Amino acid sequence: MVWTTLLALIFLPLYKKFLFYIGSIQYNYQKKLIPVSFGLYILFVETIVLLMFDRDYNWSYMVAFFIITIVGTIDDFYGDPRIKGLSGHIRAFFAGKITTGLLKAIVGGWIALFLGFFIGQDIIESLTIFLLILLMINMINLFDLRPGRALKVFFLFYFGLSISTPFLFIGNLALISLSILLIVFYHDLRGKIMLGDSGANLIGLHLGLWYSLYLSLSWQWLMIIVLILLHVYTERHSLSDLIEKNKLLKKIDLWGR
């Protein structure tokens, strides 16, 4: 973790300068210009540390991480912020416009399907993993609207899995990712950076993969039901409005800002 933290601290200011240089900046909800799209940064540091300390890691997973990050980066750079939600991208498609958001959804679906059949032992398990990964990826995107919110949700799911399964002690990626994301969280929480779709997609895929590998099938289906209900709710209502109206959720949401 020491090497991971050191590399993450070294590369973060360099990557921020790179994003400013290429113009990957957006106004956040406070109307401040900040660098956007941190998936490549997270993945780059993860890859360097794995090459240094864990070359036996399953690199098929890293290929999936790379593809989802690239597609998210394209959406960060070229996406239309006026088109919201999967239904919005589908409506745009039938109106004759292919959006980067729709491309992201299609590629994310193929990645989830590939991992489902790569990991699953039978058709039921494979389709379960497919749904779980797909919903996890999009869930983090749903929360990435305020500083630190998406990562708070990530850490909630991360620590929930860590106290119920041995995933922290199997392989190195879980601890490597934690070290990097704690640094990203510090800057995101203060409104200095924005994860963007690339970052949200990547950490959502991390969660989906870990929950697929370490949860039993029955618990996976429970998670799928919860995630489906969340997605149905957000198609009709605003998560930000829900959080704003609930004192406890609002307090958690504002913590650290």
pLDDT score at 89? 56
Residue 38 has pLDDT above 80, yes or no: yes
pLDDT one-digit tens code per residue, 99-111: 777 788 889 999 9
pLDDT of 55 higher than 60: yes
pLDDT at 54: 80
Q: Work out the percent of the chain whose per-residue pLDDT is above 70.
A: 92
Say if CB 153 and CB 144 are below 8 A apart. Answer: no
pTM for the model: 0.92
What pLDDT does 17 receive? 93
Average pLDDT of the chain?
89
Predicted pLDDT at 140: 94
